[in-house]
Structure 1
Amino acid sequence: MSFSGKKFRRVKCENIDKLLAATHANDDIVRVLKMKAPLVTYTMIDEQTLHMDLDMDGQQMSHTFKLGEEHVLEKKDGRKVKMTYTIEGNNVIKQVIKMPDGKTAYFRKEFNDNEIKMIVTMHGTDLNATIYYEMVQ
């Protein structure tokens, strides 16, 4: 996997405000998509296991996922979200997040040598947003 172990920082968003307004996204999704540029690293542990490190304003989050299995992640406030990760080919990670309010967000992360293009869609709309990340040296 060309992306494994590389660190990326968000650099640009397109259409995110329209997507969030159209879907009446909950505060968790808005915060994650609009906060200061987070750093993210995905590392393949083995053929079926993906590890993610996320640094958001100095707050570290780390989680390991079995691909194709739904995982429950408890947030600091006790609410739980359900996430499923899958890999497509050698350079695409797909993520589905089911929120406590019943809304579902879909993320498609397309990795190139030094960047990620992430396409975000929300259940109930045909709008999407694109978020770009660049590799950090």
Structure 2
Amino acid sequence: ARYRALRRIAAERRVTPNAILFEAFTAALHSIGAGDHFAITVPRTHRPAPVSDEIEVLGNFTRLSVCTADYRAQQPGSPAAVYAAHEQLRRAAGAATDATGDLATARSGDPGGYPVVFTSTLGMGRNLAPGVGSDALV
């Protein structure tokens, strides 16, 4: 029932349910101090199911895009903010570039650091590395 309600709201706003969730996530980051304009690294291409243990080394996605949240001229949760999130995700889904190129564009000369998503699950599955307990993963 909740997902149906989310789909209905998304249809009314002419965006995807994912755009509403993405904007809610960026609004939450904004509310805890991320600033008025920041970047988020978004995984966008999933690998097919691995045929071996390669997933433990490679992670479960291959490409990243950088999307930006810009609350300098719009309020979190507003229709404009949700539509902007929708457009960010739409562009990311069709982008042929990677996160580094996207970030260079998003930064516009700002010397800030690169956002990073670490995807390796090596040692986190059933075969923990020798001497590494589950408490090391926290």
> What is the TM-score normalised by the length of structure 2?
0.26
Report the structure, 1 or 2, having the larger helix content: 2
Structure possessing the higher radius of gyration over alpha carbons: 2
Report the structure, 1 or 2, having the larger strand content: 1
> What is the TM-score normalised by the length of structure 1?
0.26
